[in-house]
Amino acid sequence: MSLILSLDTSTQNCSVAIHDKGQLISQELVSEEGSHSKALTLLIEKVMKTAGYALADLSAVAVSNGPGSYTGLRIGLATAKGICFALDKPLICLPTLQVLAAAVQAPAETLLLPLLDARRMEVYAAVYTADLQEVAPQVAHILSPESFQEFKPVLAFGNGSAKWMETCAHAAITFVEEPLCPEAQHMGKLAYEAFLNEKFENLVTKEPDYLKEYMGIKPTLKSL
């Protein structure tokens, strides 16, 4: 038995799943902006109860580690680290865009282009083969009509793809119109492969993969 608890808090969705040897046993998801801090631990508790296991039964904890929401990523990684530290379990970190790509099935010759919205015409993007091998690493990319012309054929998807559909000049690209987001239920096989290869992270030094620097907004002072 190889029980792995998976967490994804990289978008407005907050999702939790538990897999045994990559096979889904139980999952929960809340789709609500800002729900991560109040919902994540409750979802973990519910998933474990539904699956009939205790946290001590886990073999590892996996977390979708970016890019994505700065706050969401911090909450997800901190929660995963806390469980791993308390129970002496290994931590597995997965690229968020690979997790998103795991939700899509395509012919073997088709390249997968997951796109997460990063505001305006910027997206977080990566390119994978149909069996989720990395072709181009995760980057923050400003979309233009000629973006990703060097790859073909390509299937583009994710909540960052909609704003590119009308201007894209890529002749060999197909869009999935459904606004897909990363979910913990799709992390099972990736996490199990990492577990078998002992691709574990340092609980002290590991940080989220933001891809770009956080740009905070200075609060406006209200007059008395």
Tens digits of residue pLDDT in 73-103: 999 999 999 999 999 999 999 999 999 999 9
Which tokens is 42 given? 């409750």
Most confident of 165-169, 182-186, 211-215, 220-224: 182-186
Query: Is the domain 104-175 a CATH 2.40.10 member?
Result: no
Residue 183 pLDDT > 50, yes or no?
A: yes
Q: What percent of the chain has pLDDT over 90?
A: 87
Helix axis angle, 70-87 to 36-51, nearest 10°:
40
Assessment of whether the complete model's pTM goes beyond 0.75 = yes
Residue 221 pLDDT > 50, yes or no?
A: no
Q: 49: helix, coil or strand? A: helix
Residue 7 pLDDT > 60, yes or no?
A: yes
Whether the Cβ atoms of residue 19 and residue 194 lie closer than 8 Å to each other = no
Give CA–CA dist 2/195, Å, rounded.
Answer: 9
pLDDT score recorded for residue 62: 98
Residue 33 pLDDT > 90, yes or no?
A: no
- CATH 3.30.420.40 domain range(s) in the chain: 3-95+182-196
Q: What percent of the chain has pLDDT over 70?
A: 95
pLDDT score recorded for residue 218: 47
pLDDT score recorded for residue 214: 55
Residue 224 pLDDT > 50, yes or no?
A: no
> How much is the average pLDDT of 189-205?
98
206 vs 163, more confident? 206
Query: Is the domain 3-95+182-196 a CATH 3.40.50.150 member?
Result: no
pLDDT score recorded for residue 57: 98
Parallel/antiparallel/unpaired status of strands 13-20 and 23-31: antiparallel
